[in-house]
Amino acid sequence: MSEHRHGDLSEHGHHHDNHFSDMEARVKALETLLTEKGLIDPAAIDAIVETYETKVGPRNGAGVVAKAWVDPAFAEWLRHDATAAIASLGFAGRQGEHMRAVFNTPATHNLVVCTLCSCYPWSVLGLPPVWYKAPPYRSRAVIDPRGVLAEFGLDLPADKKVRVWDSTAELRYLVVPERPDGTEGFSEAALAALVTRDSMIGTGLALSPEAVR
């Protein structure tokens, strides 16, 4: 069973083709020019991008999830006013001002997509992965979410409902994955290490304790 939830798609307010925006094209051209003149090191730029893509942003979101796992009051606040709850931890800003948290349960798995563009909560997840912006993911996540999840290596039980949430320019989603078994007594920091970017999009699960040992 799958279910697709979304806002008014006319509200996205983004450029919806699959090419670089004017700003992105200018940045690429400037980067190429500065590289050719020997003024910047492409490897250094790649390292900076990697940091924001996989470390800084996702670690913020992982901290939010870990706190929700250990603090029922915070989890309830996150459920009812994710924007305020996340901001209370100091994570706010670009494309993360209006947030909604959706919680995975034994009966329901949540998946996030932006069908017309690539709306993404940078402040908690960092830079969006390339596949998140790709047309095949954006279309198939709605049409065949179980098939997409299987391609990510996530095979869900047939009786587990899949809900697909469509981000818009006004509202972004954060998936709170289920807390892994065997983590009783873990500190927030230890729990945060189990939370991946993909688990907060819904294309993966939180890691087991064994996976990070």
Q: What's the CATH number where 88 sits? A: 3.90.330.10
204 pLDDT more than 80: yes
Annotated binding-site positions:
114, 117-119
Q: What is the mean pLDDT of residues 133-148?
A: 95
156 pLDDT more than 80: yes
Domain that holds residue 55: 2-8+17-212
Percent of the chain with pLDDT over 70: 77
CA atoms within 13 A on the CB side of 172: 25
- Answer whether 175's CB lies under 8 Å from 192's CB: no
Q: What is the mean pLDDT of residues 88-116?
A: 87
- What is the total count of domains within the chain? 1
pLDDT value of residue 37 = 73
Indicate the pLDDT class of residue 17, thresholds 50, 70 and 90: very low
Partners of 129 in the beta sheet? none
Annotated binding-site positions for Fe(3+):
114, 117-119
pLDDT tens digit sequence for 41-79: 777 666 666 656 555 568 999 999 999 999 999 999 999
List the one residue out of 93, 164, 88, 162 whose CA is nearest residue 124: 93
* pTM for the full predicted model: 0.76
C-alpha angle with apex 53: 52 to 59, nearest 5 degrees? 75
pLDDT value of residue 52 = 60
CA distances in angstroms from 113 to 23, 38, 107, 195, listed in the order given: 23, 39, 20, 19
Q: What is the mean pLDDT of the chain?
A: 84
Catalytically annotated residues = 114, 117-119
Contacts of 203 (CB under 8 A, 6+ apart): 111, 148, 149, 152, 154
pLDDT value of residue 81 = 97
pLDDT value of residue 16 = 40
Tokens representing 203 are 């294309």
Q: What is the mean pLDDT of residues 91-117?
A: 87
